[in-house]
Amino acid sequence: MGVGRALNNYAVQHTNPSCLLRRERIEPAIFARSFWLGTNCIKNPQPLLDRKTSESLTSVTEAAAIHNLVTEMVAYLPTLGVLAASLFLVFLLLRRMVRTHSATAIFWHTVLQEKMTNLVKGKSRESRILDFVLQNGVRGDAKSVVDSIDKYCREQEWAMNVGDEKGAILDKVLEEANASTVLELGTYCGYSALRMAQVLKPGARLLTIEFNPANANIAKQVFHFAGVEDKVSILEGSTEDIIPQLKKKHDVDTLDFVFLDHWKDRYVPDTKLLEECGLLRKGTVLLADNVISPGAPEFLQYVRGSSRYDCTHYPSHLEYSEVEDGLEKAVFKS
């Protein structure tokens, strides 16, 4: 065994390299110098004195230990490289799936991202949306509030509003319906209601049902800020409880337009409830969101398979994403 290797072995035995690094907190420049010194001391075991590094390096053996550590690290580089490249590929794949795959996107946005951010920021996503609206919207200007919510949800964090792309379809279908009495199932923060309020003709009214008190509270503040309270009323409670009360308690004869945007398993039961309660007339337009993502197959089967409805599909994308989604219009015939 050469003298250099013997010195190196001695250094490794007597100096734990990782401890050495932690204890000495060696600067990168000194570390490089040490590596050079270590290399030299293995070639030539004479004690090396260097003015710049002698204060940091207590002995030649430490230099040798550092040399050894670096040599070991270099040996691991290919493995580390493969690991880093694999992690990067997994990251790219996940990012792509969040953008284009329905279940992954919804799981990421509504479970992982939302819960983690709520924990870190100590307030709900809906409160953060309200804060952004109050700071960036213009009081009394519903369009500026809608634009602020879109900006927040595109640039900061996703939220389950109908969004700008499907929102434009909602505006158009509602405008064509020339509705006087509109019902929304699922208010959330009030985004779609604000869009509809801007399209409604003078004297028309919109009732929107929300069973989550926290969401209803945010929506009330959004409506107040946007100045649409005279057109929009929030009815707090579940759709199954409130729909049967619409005629007597809320003075509704029949509905001209219904926007279904609550939990998807309620689309069919609530459509049947609207029929049973005599709230649909010939020509009432039902417009259902998210029929592709997360999907409402039973609803599509029900309205498309019924001779009582004329259906039109509007392909689009899940709000603020590239995931395929669509709206279904079902016009009640009788």
A 10 A CB-CB count for 307 gives 7
**Catalytic residue check, 147:** no
* Residue type present at position 153: C
Taking the complex as a whole, the smallest distance from the CB of residue 149 to ligand SAM amounts, in Å, to 8
Strand partners, 287: 259, 329
Q: Which of 126, 150, 290, 325 is catalytic?
A: 290
Helices (H), 163-250: 163-177, 191-199, 213-226, 239-242, 246-250
Are 151 and 136 in contact by the 8 Å Cβ rule? The answer is: yes
| Site for ligand SAM contains 162 (CB under 6 A) | yes
Q: Between 50 and 250, whose beta carbon lies closer to ligand SAM?
A: 250
| Site for ligand SAM contains 150 (CB under 6 A) | no
Q: Which of 62, 164, 261, 328 is catalytic?
A: 261
Stretch that binds ligand SAM, among 29-37, 135-143, 188-196, 220-228 (CB under 6 A): 188-196
∠ CA 290-303-272 to the nearest 5 degrees?
Answer: 95
Q: Which residues are within 8 A (CB) of 172 and not within 5 positions of it... i.e. 6 or more apart?
A: none
Site for ligand SAM, residues 213 to 252, rule: CB under 6 A = 215, 238-239
236: left (phi over 0), alpha (psi -120 to 50) or beta: beta
Q: How far is residue 64's CA from residue 41's CA, in Å, rounded to a whole number?
A: 7
Are 242 and 167 in contact by the 8 Å Cβ rule? The answer is: no
Is the preceding peptide bond at 294 cis, omega within 30 degrees of 0?
A: yes
**Catalytic residue check, 289:** yes
| Site for ligand SAM contains 191 (CB under 6 A) | yes
Q: Between 191 and 309, whose beta carbon lies closer to ligand SAM?
A: 191
Among residues 61, 161, 181, 293, the one that binds ligand SAM under rule CB under 6 A: 161
Q: Between 8 and 290, whose beta carbon lies closer to ligand SAM?
A: 290
Stretch that binds ligand SAM, among 22-30, 39-47, 76-84, 159-167 (CB under 6 A): 159-167
Q: How far is residue 48's CA from residue 317's CA, in Å, rounded to a whole number?
A: 69
Among residues 266, 267, 325, 326, the one that binds ligand SAM under rule CB under 6 A: 266
Q: Which of 321, 39, 37 is nearest to 154 (CA)?
A: 321
| Site for ligand SAM contains 293 (CB under 6 A) | no
| Site for ligand SAM contains 199 (CB under 6 A) | no
Q: How far is residue 4's CA from residue 243's CA, in Å, rounded to a whole number?
A: 88
Q: Between 227 and 269, whose beta carbon lies closer to ligand SAM?
A: 269
Taking the complex as a whole, the smallest distance from the CB of residue 317 to ligand SAM amounts, in Å, to 14
**Catalytic residue check, 264:** yes
Among residues 20, 199, 200, 209, the one that binds ligand SAM under rule CB under 6 A: 209
Taking the complex as a whole, the smallest distance from the CB of residue 232 to ligand SAM amounts, in Å, to 12
- Catalytic residue annotation: 261, 264, 289-290, 319
Residues that bind ligand SAM (CB under 6 A): 160-162, 186, 188, 191-192, 209-212, 215, 238-239, 261-263, 266
